[in-house]
Chain A
Amino acid sequence: MRSVLCYGDSNTYGQTTANKPDDRYPHDTRWPGVLRELIGRDWLVIEEGLSGRTTVSDDPIEGAEKNGRTYLRPCIMSHKPLDLIIIMLGTNDLKIRFNKTPGEIAMGVGALVSDIKCMPAGIEGKIPEIMIVAPPPTALDLKEWSGVFQGAQEKSRALAQEYERMAEAQEVHFFDAGLVVTSSDEDGFHLDAKAHRELGHAIAEEIAAIGWSPLPD
């Protein structure tokens, strides 16, 4: 059995588009659940999504526990050995309070990749495969969140390119979620149930495309 860690934010946690706190899609609706349904025979799919998680920043409002960097290490150590770590973060870094450019958000993702590469969390002490997933751009109308996400519409549209650049430099797998899903118009930045399903299917394909030698019996 192989194992994959899905490390993300509210869009991995499965926060609904209803703009209600802790309103979560059922486990089989969220994209890691869709993934589990597709590849679960061979893979243990581990969900690690936290609403509000950033790449590398303590959130002055939401709390230090939103920092994706400080939690990454204990998280990986709790689940190792891992074959693959998927990182889909960056949407929360678009918040105006962090004042980051798209390139700096990608650098945050790059820092997480560097951290993983420093940990022998893979099989037999190797480094796990790493896949960076660029989150889809936000909707143009961010409703109640417009103030929090000031300028995010434009910045989020530059993320995929910056992430790909980072994936290239770090030599890791890359997937642009924006190719298959869009943020919901309901709240402007969450995935709806259909998008979770589409993303789960796409990630399953991307995982398979990496190419894995058959496991020994």
Chain B
Amino acid sequence: MPDMRFAPPPSVRVAEHPSGMNQVLARSFNERLIMSLLLQHGGMTRLQLGQESGLSAQTISVIVRALERDSLISKGEAVRGRIGPPTTPISLNPEGVFSIGLHVDQTYVEAVLVNFTGEPVDRRTGPLQSLEVDEVESALLVVLDGLLAGMSAEVRNLLTGAGLTLPRQFGGNEHEGSAVLNHDFEAALGARSGLEIFIQNDITAAASAEILFGQAKLINDHLFCYVSRDIQPRLILGGRIYSGSAPCPPVCSDAAWAALEAAIAKSAPLENPAVMDWVEEASRKMAALVEELARLVSVPTMILAAPVPVEIMKALVSATRERVPSGLSVEASALGPNALALGAATLPIHSRFTTEAG
């Protein structure tokens, strides 16, 4: 027997993008740790990575080389060194990984393609005539096909998976809604795309996208509220997302929401009574929610997301600011009106490249 201390080392692991190896390649915990830090902080030097992760400089060096080989991090400017000059921080390569997000809403389905840093690259939507399972599934396949057809073979190979998000419950026909929620979309979507499918509640996924890519990157404890017909809050403590079981009272009726959507399509929506009422009522309800929550826990920040244009979002944020205690900072989500689909797209990235449970 040879002395095994002198056995040849294992071969260097290299992902082969053309065969889609990147998709199935499991990253080690330490690699995920480094990528989580880079997602959170943007560019970092190896020294900073070492200080934040507690890993040794030599371990960082090995990880950086491995991530660089797989094009997951951007090479520095310098031509001389492999790893770049010290002044050039290491950052994630936005083009290193892509992910698809699919979202089923009450009246439409949506598909987005995002890159490794969560920036939307492409988007498709399709109407839903009804909430029958077959209708929903074929609408999802149409937007998915549209997205897949629109991307280059290169991007196709770098897809890490597809996320699907569904609401906790649909309005309208309760029977149809629950049939959709109980249906196994994974089989059809997986077969069509060849990707692993990740499924999650829409609001929780959006809250986790906010943590990974949005406003909450550097905030630990906060309250995330998604506002449309009703308010759907998530409490984030120590990076964990909590949701309650009792629904919040609705902000407006379906008819009022339809009027708001119609107003958004026209000019000067802020002067429209449907919008003004919604902003008023939503901010009032959120203030009440904050007051109730304060009995149990206090958080320094509140992040609002809603499927509305920026100017209405601004109005909602300032109306809410006026009603909540001054110690609570209120911010608009960085995800914009498509927060739910972006949340879906975040699921595969979360699951494969970060240390946090998705």
Residues of A within 8 A of B (CB): 103, 106-107, 110-111, 114, 129-130, 161, 164-176, 179-180, 198, 201-202, 205-206, 208-213
Contact = CB atoms under 8 A, between A and B. Distances in A.
Contacts of B65: 164, 167-168, 174
A107 B48 CA distance: 32
B80 A171 contact: no
B58 A202 contact: no
Contact of A209 (B5, B11, B83): B83
Nearest to A161: B12
A114 B8 contact: no
B355 interface: no
Interface of A is mostly: helix
9 contacts: A103-B8, A107-B8, A129-B58, A167-B65, A168-B66, A169-B10, A171-B56, A205-B85, A211-B86
A129 to B, nearest CB: 6
Contacts of A129: 57-58
Contacts of B61: 172-174, 210
Given A130-B58, A174-B61, A212 B81 contact: no
A211 B52 CA distance: 13
Contact of B85 (A161, A165, A176, A209): A209
Nearest to A173: B61
The list of the 4 closest CB pairs from A to B, nearest first, reads A211-B47, A169-B9, A208-B86, A211-B46
B45 interface: yes
A173 B58 contact: yes
Nearest to A208: B86
B18 to A, nearest CB: 20
Interface in B36-84: 45-51, 56-62, 65-66, 78, 80-84
A211 B81 contact: no
A164 B46 CA distance: 19
A69 to B, nearest CB: 13
A79 B152 CA distance: 56
B85 A211 contact: no
B85 A213 contact: no
A167 to B, nearest CB: 7
Contacts of A165: 9-12
A165 to B, nearest CB: 5
A173 B63 CA distance: 10
Contacts of B8: 103, 107
A110 B8 CA distance: 10
A170 B56 CA distance: 13
B200 to A, nearest CB: 35
A170 B8 CA distance: 11
Nearest to A130: B58
Nearest to B44: A211
Contacts of B59: 171
A209 B1 CA distance: 41
B47 A212 contact: yes
A205 B58 contact: no
A103 B10 CA distance: 11
Contact of B81 (A164, A170, A205): A205
The CB with the most chain A CB atoms within 10 A, among B9, B10, B83, is that of B9
Contacts of B66: 168
B9 A205 contact: no
Interface in B140-185: none
B9 A209 contact: no
Contacts of A166: 9
Contacts of A167: 62, 65
Given A110-B9, A161-B12, A211-B45, A205 B86 contact: yes
B78 A171 contact: no
Nearest to A203: B81
Contacts of A110: 6, 9
A175 B62 CA distance: 11
